[in-house]
Amino acid sequence: DYGKQAGTLYRKGPDGMQSVDIPTEKGDQLEHELRAFVDCVRTRGEPVVSGEQGYQALQLAADICHAIETNPS
């Protein structure tokens, strides 16, 4: 939940859906991401998430959206 800055993972278990709270870092995530990017540029460091990993995450999100749109049940 972006507004509450909280994360929850839902899993289908033998007794139905189960939820697990995920620890999150409070604060402005876009600012945190931009600061990390600038730090990598300044120090020529490696980002936490590579471009390839970012692309794969975006592709997965697009695939999930497509599956939801085509299989609403």
Cβ–Cβ under 8 Å, residues 31 and 37:
no
pLDDT at 44: 96
**Looking at per-residue confidence, does 73 or 28 come out higher?**
28
Alpha helices in the chain (DSSP H): 29-43, 51-70
Which tokens hold the place of 41?
A: 């540029």
pLDDT at 73 over 70: no
- The average pLDDT across 53-57 equals 96
Mean pLDDT of the chain: 90
DSSP code, position 45: P
Entry pTM = 0.56
pLDDT at 37: 93
